[in-house]
Amino acid sequence: MKTKTNKPFLVVGKSGTGVTTKAKTLIGCKEYRIFYANDIPISDVYSWPLEIGIIIEDVHYKPDKDKILDLIYSGRNVVLTSKNKKDVSKVIIDCCQIKMAGRKNYNQIILRAKAKNSQDYKVVDDNIWAMTNAYIRMPDRDEYLSVLKTYQPPPMQILSWVVASQPKNQKLMHVSKAMMNSGDYFYPLLAYSKLGTYGSVVPPKRKSVSPFPDICRKLGLRSSDGYLVKDLLKDEEYSRWAAKKLDEKECKILGIKKEKRRRVSVRKDRTKKLEDF
């Protein structure tokens, strides 16, 4: 029988932000064991001693969900860690209290203490948001070029995000020409088209699809004959015929009224029959 007690903590933070250290302070046990979410060598959950805590690392990567939930519901002292929240199963998140580790990178502080003249190292993920943010903010453009060459994002995708985030950058016109003519110069031109300073990422907006091609096809016209529809609708007879062919949403776009079907009411026979007595 599952007996759920207090919710365990889920510590969320990137590498170097003290996620494991915070989990050790939250475990509340003198003795504990650390396991990875995809490799928990506990065969019988209920045989695990209550006085020994369990820290489960990297819950975002292929977790053994059933065993983790059994440990939580069995009343064992459990603390979980993850690099992000979006990749953790919603079932596990609902069972936990979220604790953020913070942004301070302790690995960087230790490295700076050992080597005072060292530069801050940067980690760029392979997702389009992180690479666009690096394009805007990263001051070392040689380093950004190496990032582009390592991950090789699709030119059209990265360019659409960059243009949406930096619409006033006229140098991007030359970058788009390089993408169409020759792909060899695309990444270098993109990397050096801006000096990394400040700004924010703006996702590109998707263009709305025009409803007129579908309307034309339903009215027996060509898809490119959308400019003729409004002139044809000036004829009342044609307008009534078009309203029968189109649905309510399409009629609203064209500004015509669609006649609603009248329901024929059928009178119920209330005369009592022999079986009603």
pLDDT band of 261, cuts 50, 70, 90? low
pTM, rounded to two decimals: 0.46
Taking 70 as the threshold, does the pLDDT of residue 262 lie above it?
A: no
Amino acid at 226: G
By percentage, how much of the chain surpasses pLDDT 70?
A: 83
> Per CATH, which fold does 9-100 belong to?
Rossmann fold (3.40.50)
pLDDT at residue 1 is higher than 50: no
Indicate the pLDDT class of residue 2, thresholds 50, 70 and 90.
Answer: very low
| 119 confidence band (pLDDT: 50, 70, 90) | low
How confident is the model over 197-219, as a mean pLDDT? 79
Rounded CA-CA distance 151/108 in Å is: 24
Tell me what pLDDT residue 141 has.
Answer: 86
Domain limits, the chain: 9-100, 128-191, 212-254
Q: Taking the mean position of all CA atoms in its chain, how far away is CA 270?
A: 61
pLDDT band for position 121 (cuts 50, 70, 90) = low
Q: Is 130 within 8 Å of 124 (Cβ atoms)?
A: yes
Q: What is the 3-state secondary structure (H, E, C) of 229-264?
A: HHHHCCCHHHHHHHHHHCCHHHHHHHCCCCCCCCCC
Q: What is the pLDDT of residues 23-76, one digit of tens each?
A: 888 887 788 999 999 889 888 888 888 889 999 999 988 898 899 999 999 888
